[in-house]
Amino acid sequence: MLRFIKGNLENIDGVQIYPLISLLIFFIFFVVLFYWVFTAKKDHITEVSNIPLDTDTNNQNKELL
């Protein structure tokens, strides 16, 4: 199966750039994500982490059912 895929890809001009592009997208995404994590305000992180424990939200969801 790999020979079939590799054989078809070898016939495409410029195909060697696609792995490089995907690696760059992957790397840039995680660099931006790490930057956001380290620069996020502690108040925001605390507020978001307490959302599952908020009883007011749980009561509103039960009323909708």
- According to the model, what pLDDT value does residue 51 have? 86
Rounded distance between C-alpha atoms, residue 65 and residue 56, angstroms: 15
- According to the model, what pLDDT value does residue 4 have? 72
The domain of 7 spans 2-64
pTM for the structure as a whole: 0.55
CB 15 within 8 A of CB 9: yes
- According to the model, what pLDDT value does residue 31 have? 98
- According to the model, what pLDDT value does residue 18 have? 87
Tokens of 52: 């599952």
Residue 51 is classified by DSSP as: G
Q: What is the pLDDT of residues 13-51, one digit of tens each?
A: 888 888 899 999 999 999 999 999 899 898 988 888 888
Q: What b-and-e string marks burial along 21-59, b requiring 16 or more CB atoms within 10 Å of the CB?
A: eeeeeeeeeeeeeeeeeeeeeeeeeeeeeeeeeeeeeee
